[in-house]
Amino acid sequence: VAACKMNVRRKKEYTYAAVTPMTDVSTGEHLDLTSEITNKHPQYVPLWGRLTEELQKSWTLAQDETDVDPSVLESPSVKRDIKSRLQGHAEEAQKELMEQWKIVENALSPTFSGDIVYGPVLQLSCGLWNAITPYCVLKTHFHSGGNAKGTKAIAVSKLLTNFALSIRSVQRARRCLRRLAAGPTAAVHLLHDLKETGCEGWSPQEYPEFLALEIDNDYLMRSVQARVAFEMLDDYGGKTSDDYESDKSNVGNYSSNDYSSDSTHSDADIGSDANSDSDERSSQECHQNRMPQNRTMQMNMGAGKSAVIMPCVLATAGAGRLDPQGAKRLVRATVLSSLYSTNAADWQLKLGGLLDRRVLPLLCRRDLPITEAIAAQLLNTCIAARDRGDVIVTVPEHRLSLENKSLELASEDTSSPDLAASRALQRLLHLSATEGREILDESDEILSPLYQLIYTLGAQLRMEGAPLRWAVHAAIYGTLARYGRVLQQEFGAEVIELTRPVSQDESTGADSHEYPGLRLLDDGSAKADDAYKKICELVVEDVLAGRANGIQTTLTAEELEVFLDCVRGSPDPKLLARINPDRRPQRSDALPQPRQVLALTLRGLLNHDVLRLCLSKRWRVNYGAHPSRPNYDMAVPMKAKDVAAEKNEFGHPDVAVSLTFASYYNGGLSQGQLQSSFTSLMKLPESKRKAVYRQWAERLPAGRKDGIAALEGVNLEDKELFKTKLYPAFHKHMDVINFWLLNKVFPVQAKQFPKKLVATAPDLCRSAALCPAWRAITTGFSGTDDLSLVLPETIKQHNMAELQGTNGVQLRRLLRPENNQYIALRAEEKTMCNDEDTLDTELKFASKNSTEQILDILGTERIIKNKVNVVLDPGALVLQKTNAEFAKSWLGKRPDMETAVFFEDDSIKVLIWGSSNPIPFAVSSYAHDMSKCLLYLDDIHTRGSDFRLPLATRALLTLGKNLPKDKFCQSCMRLRQLGVGQSLTFVASPEVHRVLKLSFFKPDVGRLIVHLDTQSGHILQMDRGSKTAIVHGILLWTLSNTVRRICDLLPYLAGQTVCALRKARAFSELVYGNSTDSSAPGLRNLRLRNTTAAVSTNSMVF
């Protein structure tokens, strides 16, 4: 059983190495990462080569990786033998525990020293002496951090450590018995417990936090987890596996006799300190030869990063355990906002027990008023947290907001400057910069170049060129609605997607009062380029022909030539002079001012691909109206499906306006917004309001005009009429939406500001290389490292030598035959094809959206038989229902299951069969046994969430547009036992299916076993030939998306690096008076690293 040795009388250890063989998860196939994407896009070749080379190395290293094999527990005789040995060990461990407790009781009694002290004896006899209970004495011991001084105190500390080890041994035996009884579900965890001996490479006397967390949370820290924790705690980093072996030999294996005790031992038998003075001097000399450095590292998902390693790192760092001077630091953990509530609650539970550490939030938003008193209170709270060893848990948005808030309060351009409060916040920032220790969980996502926070300063200004600039956007979408069907017929559904089927009475080229939901499926192909050029031509043609409402374009022949040259992006200086872009005195041959605004707006939208960017985004996934933000109606960025970025807005004004139009065209107005539109309409002069309403009504289909054809017949106070007639007819009417946006929203909310404060990802990991005052060390880790090339220049990716095969392990678990199942959702309207041996097999069924199709798939007999009880939605295909609605609908199709688990906001909920009110997952009986649970994880929660699922679970994983490899792998590894019992089935949207079929599935994948389900009409494909051809093609597709994503992020990285340099220079000038002296060498030496090849071959992205 590989149990800890309990005392000198029991030196024999039980081991089951013979029945827990380590098995290689490799499929035995060569990892082929060649793709046609490099032929189509030669500019991606260097970056593709670099990423694939690293994956090949990791794949090779992963051949030596081993894992436990749960099949060894299938033998009844083996299980009986293990159970018998575990029961025997549990009895011995319990006996040893009682003996240790007697020793502790004697040691803590008033007569421990042999000399009777009458004061304590009287207190004991009167019941006033401190209660001696296991929890009280251990909490006192661990809260003091084991920092005992004096002979007697050190002796008692050793006794309490031995007692804690005895508790851990009893827990381990009982835990193994529980997992053995649980069967296959807990088999892997059982074998890991049997394999690990505990305290490998660390001393429980020197690091009592590790031991306290083990016994308080009933787990055993694995050796690799301990090594990662020490690497995270080391300010200098860069240890190799040889260093760890050396440390291990110096510290010793503390699971053996070093902390064994016999019931008859005396105080003098207790050992001495583990590290000698010479060891400390050697460690300090080693540190003097290295510079502290910010770094991130990779560790596989499900290996205990957040549940085990993070609490250990936070507790140990707060105690100042590894600081050379022993100084305590302000420890701050930064997590993703979507994981904040679950992580903070978990760490509060684990750190608040025996260790008695508090978990404190750090909140800062622009709308929260901060006075000098509040800022001083924040500072005092942080100082107290540092001194006490408490931990601060926050999110990137609040940290960046604190940076901006401190500057905003000192600015004269703000409405309420407060210099005293600004100084207090600066003292808080100085404390964290000089005495802080920053830990990042999911660091690759937190440090993405897309993370930035902007504070606008100064008086609001009307958007330049408004309201004509807004009308241009409305005209463009009018053109798209007019020619949507024509464009789809010309370029095909693989390029032009219409989310709203065009009604039968809408003839080709006819005007429609509702937007068809046109989206450009932009994969960079020549066909997509041609489609966008056609759209631009149609827009310009409609504007010049006067078909754009509210835009007059009367031009002479000469002005028309200048106008068209401007719109097409001509760089001729003479042309630019005639349109006065720099506000020079009006020339006699210049275009009239309104025509200049029109020409420049179209030039930016069409020629500079702003419109192309907007048309490629997905409503409710990339943009949408904020569901809960009051008094703000413009579109905002979405972090995931229906998860709006808090207080965030689009920085580019034309992108913000365009996506606002698209959001309301797709979703329509609410009843309150439509009521507001009619209220504004009735305030117009009578003749004008009748003309406007007449224009609205004329575009309605004949069947919807009954009773509302004329404004005179409309009673706005009639709620029934409004609900049954007006709202269905007008809430998606493009003219009504234009009226509301142009009159109610944009004049108030579409504003510009003269100045702005920007905080970016480099502000989360500042370095002393830029400014000596920034001495705080930042370390982080994540399950993926695909974005290491675009990390801020102040931090580097440094994976431990023993974990460099992490990517390879993930791929080997993924590229397995059981994962080679693939379902292609059908498009809205398809033609019949009976060729069952090709990927083009499609059926024509009643039009259903992606959510309905997925629910149909989940209800089929084949899927239920395969135990598909989990849906992972990184592709965001479940758009038409909320998480709760989808879970309820799915549960209705599975009478064999009892509950459905899902996220509601950031809380985990359980919906029980037959109930309509979900309850918290943590307090339900299903938190420890999910064998009767369905699980749905939406887009944003496919990273960082952790559930213990049955071993035979199969998950349905959705594939959506531009899904990168890191997000793909993060989602796959929600199945912690993937490749050793758990498996995947992939579901692709029609858009993704076309891309996979044309560019990533090899020709031999075309010969498939095609299962056509007559109930739902979906296509289930499993390859006859290669065992992993389908999942291999999906992997190449996600890798190509990663390459494209990195190239897209390079301009953001460059801009943020320049911003970080400017901030460092300004701060150095403020603190040191001169930014060019040797105190800030990083200002001169910092260079963009690791991206040279990508930049040189992708200069067009700048």
Q: Is the pLDDT of residue 43 over 60?
A: yes
Preceding omega of 467 cis (within 30 degrees of 0) = yes
pTM: 0.82
Sign of CA dihedral 999, 1000, 1002, 1008: negative
**pLDDT score, position 187:** 82
CA-based angle 180:185:191, to the nearest 5?
50
Nearby residues of 853 by Cβ (< 8 Å), 6 or more positions away: 825, 826, 1016, 1018
Residues ≥6 apart with Cβ < 8 Å to 100? 159, 162, 163, 166, 261
Alpha-carbon distances of 311 from 255, 339, 557, 906, rounded to whole Å: 21, 15, 73, 21
**Which percentage of the chain shows pLDDT scores above 70?**
79
- Rounded CA separation 486/483 (Å): 5
Residue 341 burial by CB count (10 A; 0-12/13-18/19+): exposed, middle or buried?
middle
**Which pLDDT band, with edges at 50, 70 and 90, does 561 fall under?**
confident
**Angstrom distance (rounded) from CA 233 to CA 320:** 10
Query: Regarding predicted confidence, which is higher, 829 or 681?
Result: 681
Regarding beta strands 1019-1023 and 1008-1012, do their DSSP bridges make them parallel or antiparallel, or are they unpaired?
Answer: antiparallel
Tell me the C-alpha distance between 169 and 324, whole Å. Answer: 33
Q: Which two tokens stand for residue 392?
A: 């601060």
Q: In whole numbers, what is the pLDDT of the chain averaged over residues?
A: 81
Q: Is the dihedral of CA 797, 803, 805, 811 positive or negative?
A: negative
Report the C-alpha gap between 921 and 909 in whole angstroms: 5
Q: What tokens were used for 688?
A: 């004008």
Q: Do residues 477 and 665 lie in contact, with contact meaning Cβ atoms separated by under 8 Å?
A: yes
Where do we find the tokens 């031509």? 537
Give the model confidence (pLDDT) of 247-288 as tens digits.
Answer: 444 444 434 334 333 333 333 332 333 344 444 444 444 444
- Which of 144-158, 263-277, 779-793 shows the highest mean pLDDT? 779-793
Q: What is the pLDDT of residue 443?
A: 93
- Read off the tokens for 311: 């609490």
**Predicted pLDDT of residue 681:** 93
Q: Check if the beta carbon of residue 161 is closer than 8 Å to that of residue 208.
A: yes
In this prediction, residue 979 has a pLDDT band, given cuts at 50, 70 and 90, of confident
What gap in Å lies between CA 784 and CA 810, rounded to an integer?
A: 10
pLDDT at 21: 30
First to last CA, the chain: 60
Strand 643-644: give its sheet, edge to edge.
623-625, 635-640, 643-644
Phi-psi domain of 22 (left: phi exceeds 0; alpha: psi -120 through 50; beta: other): beta
Beta-carbon contacts of 678 under 8 Å, excluding residues fewer than 6 positions away, are 716, 726
What share of residues in the chain are helix, strand, coil (percent, to 5)? 50, 10, 40
Residues 312-329, mean pLDDT to the nearest whole number: 83
CA 1024 to the chain's CA centroid: 36
The single residue listed with the structure tokens 């080229």 is 509
Interatomic CA distance for residues 1058 and 224, integer angstroms: 38
Per residue in 796-852, pLDDT tens? 999 998 899 999 999 999 999 999 999 999 875 433 333 333 333 333 334 578 899
Of 296, 57, 41, the residue nearest 1094 (C-alpha): 41
Task: Say if CB 448 and CB 342 are below 8 A apart.
Answer: no
Whether pLDDT at 145 is above 80: no
The lowest-confidence range among 707-711, 937-941, 1067-1071 is 1067-1071
Q: Tell me whether residue 687 is exposed, middle or buried, using C-beta atoms within 10 angstroms of its C-beta: 0 to 12, 13 to 18, 19 or more.
A: exposed
Over the stretch 71-127, which tens digit does the pLDDT of each residue have?
777 788 888 899 999 999 999 999 999 999 999 888 877 655 445 455 566 666 666
Nearest by Cα to 519 from 591, 614, 394, 414: 614
pLDDT computed for residue 587 by the predictor? 54
Mean pLDDT of 771-778: 90
Residues ≥6 apart with Cβ < 8 Å to 277: none
Which of 6-10, 380-384, 517-521, 818-822 shows the lowest mean pLDDT across its residues? 6-10
Q: Is the pLDDT of residue 998 over 70?
A: yes
Counting residues of the chain whose pLDDT is more than 90, the rounded percentage is 44
Q: How many residues does the chain have?
A: 1102
Name the band, by pLDDT with cuts 50, 70 and 90, for residue 675. very high
Pairing of strands 868-872, 919-920: unpaired
251 versus 34: which is more confidently predicted? 34
Residue 26: C-alpha distances to residues 23, 67, 810, 1002 (Å): 9, 11, 10, 22
Closest-CA residue to 221 (of 311, 286, 300):
311
12 CB burial (10 A radius; 0-12, 13-18, 19+): exposed
For tokens 């999110």, what's the residue?
395
C-alpha gyration radius of the chain: 33
Sequence-ordered alpha helix ranges (H) in 981-1028:
990-995
Please say if the pLDDT value at position 1035 is more than 90.
Answer: yes
pLDDT band at 316 (very low <50, low <70, confident <90, very high): very high
* pLDDT higher than threshold 80 for residue 1043: yes
Per-residue pLDDT tens digits for 414-450: 888 999 999 999 999 999 999 999 999 999 999 999 8
Of 250, 191, 193, nearest to 223 (Cα)? Answer: 193
Residue in the block written with tokens 């890798």: 1039
Secondary structure of residue 39 in the 3-state scheme: helix
Contact (Cβ atoms closer than 8 angstroms) between residue 402 and residue 429 = yes
Question: What pLDDT does residue 66 have?
Answer: 65
Q: Does the pLDDT of residue 1009 top 90, yes or no?
A: no
Q: Residues 479-508: pLDDT tens digits?
A: 999 999 899 999 988 889 888 765 544 544
pLDDT in the model for residue 1021: 56
The closest alpha carbon to 68, from 16, 31, 5, 30, belongs to: 16
Average pLDDT rounded to a whole number, residues 1095-1101: 30
> For residue 929, is pLDDT > 50?
yes
Higher pLDDT, 1009 or 302: 302
Task: Tell me which amino acid residue 54 is.
Answer: E
Task: Report which secondary-structure segment, H or E, holds 1097.
Answer: helix 1092-1097
284 or 630, greater pLDDT: 630
Q: How does residue 928 score in pLDDT terms, banded at 50, 70 and 90? A: confident
Instruction: For residue 765, report the phi and psi dihedrals to the nearest 5 degrees.
Output: -145, 60
C-beta of residue 761 within 8 angstroms of C-beta of residue 1056: yes
Note the pLDDT of residue 1094.
33
Judge if the upstream peptide bond of residue 792 is cis by omega within 30 degrees of 0. Answer: no
Residue 1017: what residue type? Answer: G
The C-alpha atoms of residue 394 and residue 339 are separated, in whole angstroms, by 10
Q: Is the dihedral of CA 856, 857, 861, 867 positive or negative?
A: negative
- Residue 602: is its pLDDT beyond 80? yes
The pLDDT of residue 244? 40
pLDDT band, residue 11 (cuts 50/70/90): very low
